[in-house]
Amino acid sequence: MARRFSEEEYICQDCGHLGRAEVTLRGSAGLERFLWYALLIPGPFYSWWRRRGKTLTCAKCRVGYIVPADSKLGEVMLENKLRGRAPAARKPIPRRN
């Protein structure tokens, strides 16, 4: 019988970690606080921009190369992990900001 994964389980393509993902925001929390306290006008715009760029990252290595564990790629990666094969080395994908 195949294992059933919840919607919250992801597998990392870099380190092979299986578990929940972390939500990370782009930008800086310190700069956001500064803009809210010192320069009240750009604060809301910066906060809005930060929250538009949410990404899911691996909770272990903090890299954004994760896939849902119940997807076809996730199943193949989990099968390879259970057989003791290390994840293949990948070239990092450049991110567009």
Q: Side chain identity at 26, as an amino acid letter?
A: R
Residue 93: is its pLDDT beyond 70?
A: no
- Average pLDDT over the chain reads 78
Helix residue ranges, H only, the chain: 29-37, 42-52, 72-82
For residue 89, being part of any structural domain is answered with no
Contacts of 12 (CB under 8 A, 6+ apart): 18, 58, 60, 61, 63, 65, 66, 87
What are 21-33's pLDDT values in tens digits?
888 888 888 988 8
For residue 37, being part of any structural domain is answered with no
pLDDT band per the 50, 70, 90 thresholds, residue 2: very low
For residue 45, being part of any structural domain is answered with no
Residue 54: is its pLDDT beyond 60?
A: yes
Q: What pLDDT, on a 0 to 100 scale, did the predictor assign at position 76?
A: 81
Range of the domain at 16: 9-25+54-82
For residue 17, being part of any structural domain is answered with yes
Count how many domains the chain has.
1
